[in-house]
């Protein structure tokens, strides 16, 4: 019954490494989102996408990029990981439209540690 799958549950990377976080959904949703979750800060929106090959910056896009080559897959890329990017990363998806009524379906999260 898995609907949003994040490929890695735990990752440990070194400063300066390029990091890929993968997210796949099987619900044919148009919208996909990447958040980071930090204690005391909640969820902060990094990037989102409303369609294949489309992307929009969220509130904290600096240091991140994304790729959406297929509808079901949305990747978050850290070009050069830094220690302040140590966090829990959550992927989510929702159907198109709905005037903001759509419920997000979340993945289990990817906990990234940058040493």
Q: Does 106 interact with other proteins (rule: CB under 8 A)?
A: yes
Residue 33 touching other proteins (CB under 8 A): yes
- For other proteins, the binding residue among 43, 60, 71, 72 (CB under 8 A) is 43
Residue 97: partners with Cβ closer than 8 Å, 6 or more residues away: none
Query: Are the C-beta atoms of 59 and 3 separated by less than 8 Å?
Result: no
Does 85 bind other proteins (CB under 8 A)? Our answer is no
Rounded distance, CA 94 to CA 38, Å? 22
Distance CA 82, CA 5 (A): 25
Q: Nearest approach, Cβ of 94 to other proteins (angstroms)? A: 8
Q: Nearest distance from residue 7's CB to other proteins, in Å?
A: 15
Q: Which stretch binds other proteins (CB under 8 A): 16-24, 43-51, 67-75, 78-86?
A: 43-51
Q: Which stretch binds other proteins (CB under 8 A): 11-19, 22-30, 74-82, 97-105?
A: 97-105
Measure the N-to-C terminal CA separation of the chain; round to a whole number of Å: 34
Q: Which tokens is 67 given?
A: 């790729």
């Amino acid at each position: 019954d898995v609907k949003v799958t994040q490929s890695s549950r735990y990752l440990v990377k070194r400063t300066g490494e390029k990091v890929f976080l993968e997210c796949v959904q099987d619900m044919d949703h148009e919208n996909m989102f990447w958040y980071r979750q930090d204690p005391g800060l909640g969820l902060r929106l990094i990037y989102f996408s409303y369609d294949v090959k489309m992307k929009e910056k969220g509130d904290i896009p600096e240091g991140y990029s994304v790729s959406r080559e297929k509808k079901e897959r949305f990747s978050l890329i850290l070009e050069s990981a830094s220690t302040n990017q140590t966090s829990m990363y959550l992927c989510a998806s929702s159907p198109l439209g709905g005037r903001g009524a759509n419920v997000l379906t979340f993945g289990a999260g990817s906990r990234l540690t940058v040493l």
